[in-house]
Amino acid sequence: MSVKTIKQSEPSMRISKQRPLHSGDRLSRAEFERRYQAHPENRKAELVEGVVYVSSPIRYEQHANPHFYIIGWLATYLAATPGVRGGDNATVRLDLENEPQPDALLRLEPALGGQSTITEDDYLEGAPELIVEVAASSASYDLYDKRRAYARNGVREYIVAQTYEQRIDWFVLREGVYEMLQPDEQGLLRSEVFPGLWLQPAALWAGDLATMLAVLQEGLASPEHVAFVEQLKAKMTADR
Protein backbone atom coordinates (compact mmCIF):
# COMPACT_ATOMS: atom_id res chain seq x y z
CA MET A 1 0.00 0.00 0.00
CA SER A 2 1.44 3.33 -1.01
CA VAL A 3 1.46 6.22 1.40
CA LYS A 4 0.89 9.74 0.17
CA THR A 5 3.14 12.40 1.54
CA ILE A 6 1.23 15.55 2.32
CA LYS A 7 3.35 18.63 1.88
CA GLN A 8 2.81 21.13 4.63
CA SER A 9 1.56 24.38 3.18
CA GLU A 10 3.28 27.65 3.81
CA PRO A 11 1.64 29.76 6.50
CA SER A 12 -0.79 32.19 4.92
CA MET A 13 0.35 35.03 7.13
CA ARG A 14 3.90 36.01 7.98
CA ILE A 15 4.30 37.12 11.56
CA SER A 16 6.76 39.91 12.27
CA LYS A 17 9.55 39.04 14.68
CA GLN A 18 9.46 42.60 15.97
CA ARG A 19 7.16 43.20 18.93
CA PRO A 20 4.34 45.65 18.17
CA LEU A 21 4.27 49.08 19.77
CA HIS A 22 2.18 49.62 22.88
CA SER A 23 1.46 52.83 24.74
CA GLY A 24 3.79 53.09 27.71
CA ASP A 25 6.71 51.24 26.13
CA ARG A 26 10.04 52.89 26.91
CA LEU A 27 12.25 52.72 23.84
CA SER A 28 15.16 54.35 22.11
CA ARG A 29 14.34 56.14 18.88
CA ALA A 30 16.11 53.46 16.84
CA GLU A 31 14.08 50.63 18.43
CA PHE A 32 10.88 52.67 18.09
CA GLU A 33 11.49 53.09 14.35
CA ARG A 34 12.26 49.38 13.89
CA ARG A 35 9.01 48.33 15.52
CA TYR A 36 6.97 51.02 13.78
CA GLN A 37 8.22 49.96 10.35
CA ALA A 38 7.64 46.28 11.15
CA HIS A 39 4.01 46.91 12.06
CA PRO A 40 2.38 49.17 9.45
CA GLU A 41 -1.00 48.47 11.06
CA ASN A 42 0.00 51.08 13.65
CA ARG A 43 -1.27 54.11 11.78
CA LYS A 44 0.02 56.65 14.28
CA ALA A 45 2.51 56.16 17.08
CA GLU A 46 4.80 58.71 18.69
CA LEU A 47 7.86 58.64 20.90
CA VAL A 48 7.76 61.44 23.47
CA GLU A 49 10.50 61.69 26.07
CA GLY A 50 11.34 58.02 25.49
CA VAL A 51 7.74 56.81 25.99
CA VAL A 52 5.54 55.35 23.23
CA TYR A 53 2.04 56.72 22.63
CA VAL A 54 -0.18 54.80 20.19
CA SER A 55 -3.12 56.81 18.91
CA SER A 56 -6.70 55.78 19.61
CA PRO A 57 -9.31 55.83 16.81
CA ILE A 58 -9.93 59.43 15.74
CA ARG A 59 -13.33 60.97 16.47
CA TYR A 60 -14.85 63.39 13.98
CA GLU A 61 -16.03 66.45 15.94
CA GLN A 62 -13.34 66.19 18.60
CA HIS A 63 -10.41 65.90 16.22
CA ALA A 64 -10.89 65.33 12.50
CA ASN A 65 -13.01 68.40 11.74
CA PRO A 66 -10.94 71.03 13.62
CA HIS A 67 -7.80 69.36 12.27
CA PHE A 68 -9.13 69.81 8.72
CA TYR A 69 -9.84 73.50 9.35
CA ILE A 70 -6.34 74.07 10.74
CA ILE A 71 -4.77 72.39 7.71
CA GLY A 72 -6.78 74.68 5.41
CA TRP A 73 -5.72 77.72 7.43
CA LEU A 74 -2.02 76.79 7.29
CA ALA A 75 -2.16 75.78 3.62
CA THR A 76 -3.64 79.16 2.72
CA TYR A 77 -0.77 80.90 4.50
CA LEU A 78 1.77 78.67 2.77
CA ALA A 79 0.31 79.46 -0.66
CA ALA A 80 0.94 83.17 -0.08
CA THR A 81 4.39 82.87 1.49
CA PRO A 82 7.32 81.61 -0.63
CA GLY A 83 9.90 79.42 1.09
CA VAL A 84 7.45 78.13 3.69
CA ARG A 85 6.56 74.45 3.66
CA GLY A 86 4.01 72.50 5.64
CA GLY A 87 3.10 69.01 6.74
CA ASP A 88 0.25 66.90 8.10
CA ASN A 89 1.14 64.04 10.47
CA ALA A 90 4.78 63.99 9.39
CA THR A 91 7.24 61.99 11.48
CA VAL A 92 9.76 64.39 13.03
CA ARG A 93 13.09 63.19 14.41
CA LEU A 94 13.75 65.68 17.18
CA ASP A 95 16.34 63.89 19.31
CA LEU A 96 17.20 60.37 20.49
CA GLU A 97 14.13 60.16 22.76
CA ASN A 98 11.57 62.10 20.73
CA GLU A 99 9.98 61.24 17.41
CA PRO A 100 6.53 62.85 17.37
CA GLN A 101 4.03 62.91 14.54
CA PRO A 102 2.37 66.31 14.97
CA ASP A 103 -1.04 67.03 13.51
CA ALA A 104 0.30 69.94 11.46
CA LEU A 105 3.45 71.98 11.04
CA LEU A 106 5.02 74.89 9.18
CA ARG A 107 8.73 75.13 8.47
CA LEU A 108 11.20 77.29 6.61
CA GLU A 109 13.67 75.90 4.13
CA PRO A 110 17.18 75.66 5.66
CA ALA A 111 18.52 78.26 3.20
CA LEU A 112 15.98 80.69 4.65
CA GLY A 113 16.96 80.06 8.24
CA GLY A 114 14.88 76.95 8.87
CA GLN A 115 15.96 74.48 11.54
CA SER A 116 14.72 71.22 9.99
CA THR A 117 15.93 69.16 7.05
CA ILE A 118 14.58 66.26 5.00
CA THR A 119 16.65 63.10 5.47
CA GLU A 120 17.65 60.66 2.74
CA ASP A 121 14.85 58.32 3.88
CA ASP A 122 12.32 61.18 3.62
CA TYR A 123 11.74 62.08 7.25
CA LEU A 124 12.02 65.47 8.90
CA GLU A 125 14.96 65.92 11.23
CA GLY A 126 15.25 68.89 13.54
CA ALA A 127 12.67 71.31 14.85
CA PRO A 128 10.05 72.80 12.54
CA GLU A 129 9.39 76.45 13.27
CA LEU A 130 5.71 75.88 14.16
CA ILE A 131 3.82 72.79 15.33
CA VAL A 132 0.07 72.39 15.89
CA GLU A 133 -1.56 69.63 17.92
CA VAL A 134 -5.32 69.07 18.13
CA ALA A 135 -5.78 67.75 21.66
CA ALA A 136 -8.75 65.87 23.04
CA SER A 137 -7.80 62.72 24.93
CA SER A 138 -4.12 63.50 24.34
CA ALA A 139 -4.27 66.88 26.08
CA SER A 140 -2.19 65.73 29.05
CA TYR A 141 0.96 64.77 27.16
CA ASP A 142 0.48 67.44 24.48
CA LEU A 143 0.58 70.12 27.17
CA TYR A 144 3.33 68.66 29.33
CA ASP A 145 5.73 66.06 27.93
CA LYS A 146 5.47 67.23 24.32
CA ARG A 147 5.67 70.86 25.29
CA ARG A 148 8.85 70.19 27.24
CA ALA A 149 10.40 68.24 24.34
CA TYR A 150 9.41 70.85 21.78
CA ALA A 151 10.84 73.70 23.85
CA ARG A 152 14.10 71.88 24.49
CA ASN A 153 14.55 71.14 20.78
CA GLY A 154 13.77 74.67 19.64
CA VAL A 155 10.26 74.54 18.15
CA ARG A 156 9.69 78.27 18.03
CA GLU A 157 5.89 78.27 18.24
CA TYR A 158 3.62 75.51 19.51
CA ILE A 159 -0.17 75.64 19.20
CA VAL A 160 -2.42 73.29 21.18
CA ALA A 161 -6.08 73.34 20.12
CA GLN A 162 -7.98 71.82 23.06
CA THR A 163 -11.30 70.65 21.69
CA TYR A 164 -13.08 69.77 24.94
CA GLU A 165 -12.31 73.16 26.46
CA GLN A 166 -12.53 75.00 23.09
CA ARG A 167 -9.30 76.74 23.98
CA ILE A 168 -6.17 77.68 22.01
CA ASP A 169 -2.85 77.68 23.82
CA TRP A 170 -0.27 79.31 21.54
CA PHE A 171 3.23 79.12 23.00
CA VAL A 172 6.15 81.23 21.80
CA LEU A 173 9.72 80.20 22.62
CA ARG A 174 11.58 83.05 24.30
CA GLU A 175 15.06 82.44 25.70
CA GLY A 176 14.43 78.70 25.80
CA VAL A 177 11.11 78.94 27.66
CA TYR A 178 7.57 78.85 26.26
CA GLU A 179 5.44 81.89 27.02
CA MET A 180 1.77 82.22 26.13
CA LEU A 181 0.98 84.40 23.12
CA GLN A 182 -1.62 86.97 24.12
CA PRO A 183 -4.52 87.96 21.83
CA ASP A 184 -4.77 91.51 20.52
CA GLU A 185 -7.64 93.88 21.26
CA GLN A 186 -9.74 92.13 18.59
CA GLY A 187 -9.19 88.72 20.12
CA LEU A 188 -6.82 87.64 17.33
CA LEU A 189 -3.69 85.58 17.81
CA ARG A 190 -0.82 86.72 15.59
CA SER A 191 2.27 84.61 14.97
CA GLU A 192 5.63 86.15 15.81
CA VAL A 193 7.57 83.64 13.70
CA PHE A 194 5.33 83.72 10.62
CA PRO A 195 4.16 87.33 10.18
CA GLY A 196 0.61 87.53 8.87
CA LEU A 197 -0.46 84.16 10.29
CA TRP A 198 -3.50 85.38 12.18
CA LEU A 199 -6.10 83.23 13.92
CA GLN A 200 -9.50 84.02 15.35
CA PRO A 201 -10.09 81.18 17.85
CA ALA A 202 -13.83 81.86 18.07
CA ALA A 203 -14.20 81.15 14.35
CA LEU A 204 -12.41 77.81 14.69
CA TRP A 205 -14.66 76.66 17.52
CA ALA A 206 -17.76 77.88 15.69
CA GLY A 207 -16.77 75.79 12.66
CA ASP A 208 -16.65 78.99 10.61
CA LEU A 209 -13.85 78.34 8.14
CA ALA A 210 -14.89 81.29 5.98
CA THR A 211 -14.24 83.72 8.84
CA MET A 212 -10.98 81.96 9.76
CA LEU A 213 -9.72 82.48 6.22
CA ALA A 214 -11.07 86.04 5.99
CA VAL A 215 -9.09 86.97 9.11
CA LEU A 216 -6.04 85.25 7.65
CA GLN A 217 -6.41 87.26 4.44
CA GLU A 218 -6.23 90.42 6.54
CA GLY A 219 -2.97 89.12 7.98
CA LEU A 220 -1.64 88.30 4.52
CA ALA A 221 -2.38 91.88 3.44
CA SER A 222 -0.64 93.37 6.49
CA PRO A 223 2.62 95.33 6.14
CA GLU A 224 4.46 92.77 8.28
CA HIS A 225 3.56 89.91 5.94
CA VAL A 226 4.48 91.95 2.87
CA ALA A 227 7.87 92.72 4.44
CA PHE A 228 8.37 89.05 5.40
CA VAL A 229 7.69 87.91 1.83
CA GLU A 230 10.16 90.44 0.46
CA GLN A 231 12.76 89.26 2.97
CA LEU A 232 12.25 85.62 1.95
CA LYS A 233 12.42 86.46 -1.75
CA ALA A 234 15.67 88.36 -1.24
CA LYS A 235 17.23 85.37 0.53
CA MET A 236 16.03 83.01 -2.18
CA THR A 237 17.55 85.24 -4.88
CA ALA A 238 20.86 85.53 -3.03
CA ASP A 239 21.03 81.75 -2.62
CA ARG A 240 20.86 81.09 -6.38
Kindly give the confidence (pLDDT) of every residue in the chain, 240 residues in length, as a single tens digit, with 9 standing for 90 and above.
454 444 444 444 444 467 777 776 777 787 877 887 777 766 688 888 778 777 777 889 999 999 999 999 999 999 999 999 999 999 999 999 999 999 999 999 999 999 999 999 999 999 999 999 999 866 677 888 999 999 999 999 999 999 999 999 999 999 999 999 999 999 999 999 999 999 999 999 999 999 999 999 999 999 999 999 999 999 998 876
What pLDDT, on the 0 to 100 scale, is given for residue 144? 84
What pLDDT, on the 0 to 100 scale, is given for residue 17? 64
Please give the Cα distance from 202 to 132 (Å, whole number): 17
Amino acid identity for residue 121 in this structure: D
Please give the Cα distance from 117 to 127 (Å, whole number): 9
Query: Global pTM?
Result: 0.84
Residue 115 near residue 143 (C-beta atoms within 8 A): no
Query: Which domains are seen in the chain, by residue range?
Result: 58-238 (3.90.1570.10)
What pLDDT, on the 0 to 100 scale, is given for residue 209? 98
